[in-house]
C-alpha cells in the first residue's frame, strides 16, 4: 500500500525527492522518475545531465521514512551520518530509480539503516546511513 508522502515527510517541492514510498515486508521501497527539469540538473552537467550523488543520498534517505516509527507532530529526522556510500551508475533524465532500505537497529533517537538505489537491474548507489529524530522546537 502506498502511503501519503505529505503525511510521512515534512519536505515539499522542490525538495520532495520521491514520487512514492511503500513498506513491503519490513523494507522501505521508494521510487522517483527523473523528469529532466529538476533544479539539481541545471548545470550538472550541461549537455550531459546526471543526478548529483548528494541528491541520490537525499532520495535514499527520504524513501526510508516509513521505517522510522510514529513520531510526535513536529519531530524531524535529520541525517546523522552517511557511511560506505558508493556510486556505481549515473542516473539520468528518463530513469526511474527504485530505493530499498532496511532498519538495522535503533538506540534512543538514533536510527541506523542500509539501502540501495537502482535503475532496472543496475545498482546506482549503496549506503549505510543514520538519522537522529529531534523535535523541530530544538
- Beginning with the edge strand found earlier in the chain, give each strand of the sheet holding 122-135 in spatial order: 20-24, 27-33, 96-107, 110-119, 122-135, 75-87
Q: What is the pTM of this model?
A: 0.93
Q: What confidence tens digit (pLDDT) does each residue in 7-61 have? A: 788 889 999 999 999 999 999 999 999 999 999 999 999 999 999 999 999 999 9
Q: What confidence tens digit (pLDDT) does each residue in 3-16 have? A: 578 878 888 999 99
Residue 44 annotated in active site: yes
Q: Which candidate in 11, 44, 89, 92 is catalytic?
A: 44
Domain 5-135: CATH class, spelled out:
alpha beta
Q: How confident is the model at residue 2 (pLDDT cuts 50, 70, 90)?
A: low
78 near 119, Cβ under 8 Å? no
Distance CA 24, CA 72 (A): 24
Amino acid at each position: 500500500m502506498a502511503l501519503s508522502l505529505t503525511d510521512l515527510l515534512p519536505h515539499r517541492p522542490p525538495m520532495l525527492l520521491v514520487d512514492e514510498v511503500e513498506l513491503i515486508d519490513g523494507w522501505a521501497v521508494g521510487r522517483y522518475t527523473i523528469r529532466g527539469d529538476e533544479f539539481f540538473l541545471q548545470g550538472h552537467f550541461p549537455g550531459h545531465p546526471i543526478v548529483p550523488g548528494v541528491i541520490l543520498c537525499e532520495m535514499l534517505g527520504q524513501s526510508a521514512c516509513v521505517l522510522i516509527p510514529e513520531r510526535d507532530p513536529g519531530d524531524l529526522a535529520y541525517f546523522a551520518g552517511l557511511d560506505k556510500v558508493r556510486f556505481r551508475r549515473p542516473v539520468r533524465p528518463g530513469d526511474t530509480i527504485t530505493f530499498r532500505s532496511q532498519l538495522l537497529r535503533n538506540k534512543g533517537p538514533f536510527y541506523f539503516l542500509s539501502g540501495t538505489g537502482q535503475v532496472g537491474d543496475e545498482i546506482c548507489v549503496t549506503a549505510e546511513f543514520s538519522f537522529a529524530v529531534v523535535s523541530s522546537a530544538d
